[in-house]
Structure formats: C-alpha cells, structure tokens
Structure 1
Amino acid sequence: MTTRRFEDAPSTLPLMLKAALPALPVVGSLPGVKHASGAVPDLVLERSGVGTDPAHLERYLDVCGFPHVEHLPATYPHMAAFGLHMALMTDTAFPFAPMGLVHLRNRITQHRPIGVDEVFDVSVRAADLRPHPKGRLVDLLTAVTIDGELVWDEVTTLFSRGRGGAPETSPAPLEGVEAPRGVVHWRLAGDLGRRYGAVSGDRNPIHLYPVTAKAFGFPSNIAHGMWTKARSLAGLQNRLPDAFSVDVEFKKPVLLPTTVVFGSTTGDDGTDFGVRAQKKDSTHLVGRITPS
C-alpha cells in the first residue's frame, strides 16, 4: 500500500480540469491521461492536522440550512475529504475517468460529534470494485480520526455505466425503502449549484449553469447530491443522536430552479426520509438514519 500525504487540501479547480482531459478525443488516450482498467489503486491519500475555518463553516451552514451548533454537521467532514477524493479519482491508476462517474450512494457514520475547534486527520482510499446491472461500482472510503480514534467515516459509492453489467453481489443498503411523502417545500434557486460549489470546491459543470450542464446531457444544471443530503439532515437536526449512520441513495437529479418536497418518518429502528419532486411522482433522494 502506497501512502501519499498532503500538507494542504488539494486545489480542486486544477483537478476539475484534469478530470475533464480523459473525456477529450485523442487527448484522452494519451499516456499520463488515460486511466487504467482493472483493480482499484493500492493507494491511500492522507491529510493531518485539519482544522475548521469558522468563515467557511458559516458559509456551509448558510447554504445547507443548518443551525449554529457547537459541533460540526455530520456532512461537514466531507468538505475536508473532497479534494482527496478528486486527487484519487484523477490518478491514472483509478479505473474510471472521473467525468463519467455518477455519485449513486453515500453512507456517513458519525461515531461521536466533532467539536468545531477539534483538529482531525483524514484518509481516503478506493475499494470494492464490483458489478452493477448497468456497469460497475466502486467505493471511496474516508476515515476521520482524532488522536487515533475513529470519529467519522464515509462510503461514497460511484457508478460507471458500461456494457457487460451483472447483478450486484449484495443487496443495496436501501433496497425496498421508499421516500416518505411530506409537506415541507424547499424552493431551490437556479444559482444553488454555484453557491454550494463555491463552498465545497465541487465545481463540476453539471451543477453550475444550464449551458454547461447541457453539454453533458442535462436539460439544466442540477443540485449537488451532497447538498441534498446535507439539507435533509439540517431538517432533522433536532432528532439526530450523537452517534448514528445515515445512508442515502440518489435517484433522479434535481434540475434547477425547482421546488421539491421533503418528508420523514421515525420508528423504533430509526428515521426514513426523502426528497420528492413537487409536481411529478418521482423521487430525488431516499435516506435512512440508524442510531449507533
């Protein structure tokens, strides 16, 4: 296993440009640009001594709708990991070109709350390359530790469309779970993708403007999946335990601008939640919170 350490967060804008190169004719097949096929890279990316910038946190809370609390929102450590995710996915040893990937599922486990003043370490690696009926799946595994204690981890499941798919080797985490119907309406402005992208560093063109999204086959720019997950947790903040796991599956993209409907139900085993379209009977996101 090779470990690559970063003093600072990787700059995401150059990595976004690097991510686009494999999709270009001729350029995408050049050595140093073309991605390998086969196994996931035997590589771990690490950052140590990561602190929280209060101004950045304030902007994140604002765009995602979180209240001001003493601890980081459960989705916030993803901000510290995103640059490492991009660095890993743009490495030519990674088995897929980044621009063709779809963020299909995401699981976050908060083992305990992280204080806003705490300093933590982050590591990222790829694992579990496996079949999907319409292509293949791969996981990005992120771990956050404080003084050697695992306090937070994340599984980011990415889908690559392709021929020769096969049934998944194990059931999807939320198989059979339906998004509850709700009454809470969110009006989402057309600039939401640009606002969240400025905070998260995820400036994928599909999120920014209608014209840039159309170049990738979308009728308009779409909301980030991790924004939708964060906004859902913000709506449930007063019901979250100190330790829990939250699984989501991203269904249909949220085309901007739009209005969506959030709903949730709580039972003995946890809370199911979801985001549905306002006018059509379609689901954008389904999720489940399970206390640890």
Structure 2
Amino acid sequence: MVELSAPPSLRVLYPKAVLTGFRRKGGELPDTVYTLSGVTTDPTHLAAYDRVCGFRLTDELPATYPHVLTFPLQIKLMSGSDFPFPLVGSVHVANRITTVRPLRIDEKLDLRVRLENLRDHPRGRQFDVVSEAYVDGEVVWTDVSTYLRRGGGSGGGEKSGHAGPPEPTAVWRVPDDTGRRYGEVSGDRNPIHLYRLTARMFGFPRAIAHGMWTKARCLAAFEGRLPDAYTVDVAFKLPVLLPARVGFAAADTDGGRRFDLFDAKSGKPHLTGEIS
C-alpha cells in the first residue's frame, strides 16, 4: 500500500502514459494500492460539477462525484511501469457505484484505489479498477470501473439483443462543449472528448461525451427519489457524438429502477443502467 501526500498530476501522467504505452506487453495486474487521506471537497469545484452534470446545488455529494476525486489515483495505477496494457485504447465499458449513505461536503474522505479481476473477454481482456472512500475507517462509497483492452480475444459472444429503444421520458440536447466542460471539472482531458480535430486523430468523427458524464446526467434525473443507500450500475454502449440529442427513459423494476440513454433520432443505445 502506497500512501500519497497529494493527488497525482494528470497533466504529467497523461503524456507519460502516451509515451510509454508502446512498451506494454501484457501480463498480470500489479498489486499496488494507492491511498490518499483527508481529502476535502472544494465547494466551488462541487458546484461546477453539479452544473455540468445537471445536479442541484446542495451540501450532499452526488454518488458519481467521488469518482473524480479518485480518478487521478486510477490513472496513476494505469500509467505505472508495471501496468500491462497501454492506457490509450483501454475502453471504459461499465461502472458500478455503491453508496451506503449520503456523503456531505464537510466530510474528509480517505481514498483507496486498486486493480483486480483480470479476465478473458471475447474481444480481448477485461479488468476492474476498484476505488473506495472511507470515513473514520468505514467504507462509505465503492466504485468499480471495468475496462476492456481489445485484441487477442476468442471472438463471438456479446450478441446485441437490442430490440429498439423504449419510449423516452425526456429528450436532452447535449452541447458541443460538454466534453470540454466535464473534462475541466473531472481532470479527464482525453483528446477524444475535447474537439472534432483531436477526436478524429483517434478514429472518431466528432468529440464524444465522457461515459461518466452520461452516467451522472442520468443519475441527476432521479434526484429527490433515491434512497440513502443504493447501487447504480451502468454499461456503456455506443459513444455520444457531440453535439447530440439523446432520449432518456426510466422505468420501475421489482428491485429498483432501470434506465436507458439512446440517440433520439436513430434509437441506438448509449447507456443502459439499473438502480437497486
């Protein structure tokens, strides 16, 4: 376990990851655990995050907000010399967040991040980045981000059973600058999210929205109707090309709520999720 004294600098880590990624030859995940203690929430930063994601301004942290606090630790793990895959090209395919109670702006959080569960996938290999927040020694929040590294898979599997989108309960316009605005508050300034030109360098026709922005925007639609403790689990499907017009649909289930985000014109899925 490595105790950090300050959040790692993403401006340093991203160039390092790009320059050293070609050296990665596969292998096992490192067992390094990074911790950062006594993390406080900047009210100005929280307000900026709330605005870009559609949350109300309150003294409670949205369940997705601690993800941006742990994100520099996640990138430090995935840009380390012992990480087996290039960071560039590792695709965020799913995210599960569990919160055991509301977190308040005045609480100090102790953060912990590790890698685990490297496994085969029909299109390559998957692994999880597990982030936790503690208050007074108790785990109050857990985030599991699943990444796919394409290549070397068996092929097949994962047949799409998409039978068309549900009837939208809301339609949202997603502005062209959404990736830049979310990148500013999250620190995730991956070029695919910023401008049409930089996105084209990585094979996208236009900039794409961050997956964690789409999750946060969907969760914001449930504000005032969420229990104190819950899990919100999403699978990221096709990227949201900016600007966009997206449909949002939500429905009650036996165990909670299901929700979908999809292209408002074509119906192609961007995200499916469940709150339990």
2:191 maps to a residue whose letter is P
Which runs of 5 or more structure 1 residues have no equivalent in the other structure?
A: 29-33
The unaligned stretches of length 5 or more in structure 2 are none
1:179–1:285 contact (8 Å) kept in structure 2: no
Q: 2:105 aligns with which of 93, 116, 129?
A: 116
Q: Contact 2:114 / 2:131 at 8 angstroms: preserved in 1?
A: yes
Other-structure match for 1:68: 57
Aligned to 2:7: 9
CA deviations 1:117-146 (Å, max 9, x no partner) are 000100000000001111010000111110
Question: Given that residues 179 and 210 in structure 2 are in contact (C-alpha distance below 8 angstroms), is that contact kept between their aligned partners in structure 1?
Answer: yes
1:66, CA displacement in angstroms? Answer: 0.1
Secondary structure of the residue aligned to 1:263 is: strand
Give CA-to-partner distance per residue, 1:226-265, whole Å, 9 cap, x none: 0000000001112111000000000000000111011100
CA distance in 1, matches of 2:170, 2:61: 24
Compared with structure 1, are the counterparts of its residues 177 and 106 closer, same or farther at alpha carbon in structure 2 (3 Å cutoff)?
farther
How does the TM-score come out when normalised to structure 2? 0.95
Report the equivalent of 1:95: 84
Change (3 A) 1:240 1:97: same
1:117-266 paired onto structure 2 within 5 Å:
117-165=106-154, 180-266=166-252
Question: Letter of the aligned partner of 2:244 in structure 1?
Answer: T
- Structure 1 residue 179: Cα displacement: 6.2
Which letter maps to 1:248? V
CA distance in 1, matches of 2:77, 2:163: 31
Shift of 1:185: 1.2
Residue 281 of structure 1: how far off its partner (Å) = 2.1
State the superposition RMSD in angstroms: 1.8
How far apart are residue 5 of structure 1 and its match?
1.7
Instruction: Provide the C-alpha distance between the structure 2 equivalents of 1:227 and 1:273, rounded to a whole number of angstroms.
Output: 15
Partner of 2:47: 58
Q: Is the contact made by 1:36 and 1:93 (CA closer than 8 Å) also made in structure 2? A: no
- For structure 1, which segment, 107-116 or 12-21, has the greater mean C-alpha deviation from structure 2 after superposition? 12-21
Q: Does 1:37 align with 2:29?
A: no
Which residue of 2 is the match for residue 77 of structure 1? Answer: 66
The alignment-based identity, stated in percent, is: 48
Offset at residue 75 of structure 1 (A): 0.2
| Whole-angstrom distance in 1 between the partners of 2:91 and 2:56 | 30
Decide whether aligned partners of structure 1 residues 180 and 95 sit closer, same or farther in structure 2, where only a CA change above 3 A counts.
farther
Aligned letter for 1:119? K
Q: 1:217 to 1:72 in 2, by over 3 A?
A: same
* Distance apart, 1:177 and its partner CA: 11
Read off the aligned partner of 1:263 and give its amino acid letter. A
Query: 8 Å contact 1:132–1:167 — kept in the other structure?
Result: no
Q: Any idea what SS the aligned residue of 1:98 has? A: coil
Whole-Å separation in 2 of the counterparts to 1:263 and 1:67: 20
Which SS does the other structure have where 2:50 is aligned? helix
Equivalent pairs counted in the alignment come to: 274
| 1:19 corresponding residue in structure 2 | 17
What is the one-letter code of the residue matched to 2:16? K
**Letter matched to residue 249 of structure 1:** A
Distance 1:176 1:154, change over 3 A: farther
Matched, 1:280 2:269: no
Structure 1 residues 72, 178: CA separation in 2 closer, same or farther (over 3 Å shift)?
farther
**Are 2:125 and 2:153, in contact at CA under 8 Å, matched by a contact in 1?**
no
Following superposition, the deviation at residue 109 of structure 1 comes to: 0.2
Of 153-162 and 265-274, the range deviating more from structure 2: 265-274
What is the rounded CA distance, in whole Å, between the counterparts of 2:207 and 2:64 in structure 1?
A: 22
Deviation of the 1:166 alpha carbon: 6.5
Describe the shift of the 1:125–1:158 C-alpha distance in structure 2 as closer, same or farther (beyond 3 A). same
Query: Post-superposition shift, 1:21?
Result: 1.3
2:75 aligned with 1:86, yes or no?
yes
The alpha-carbon distance between structure 1 residues 176 and 216, as it changes in their structure 2 partners (threshold 3 A), is closer
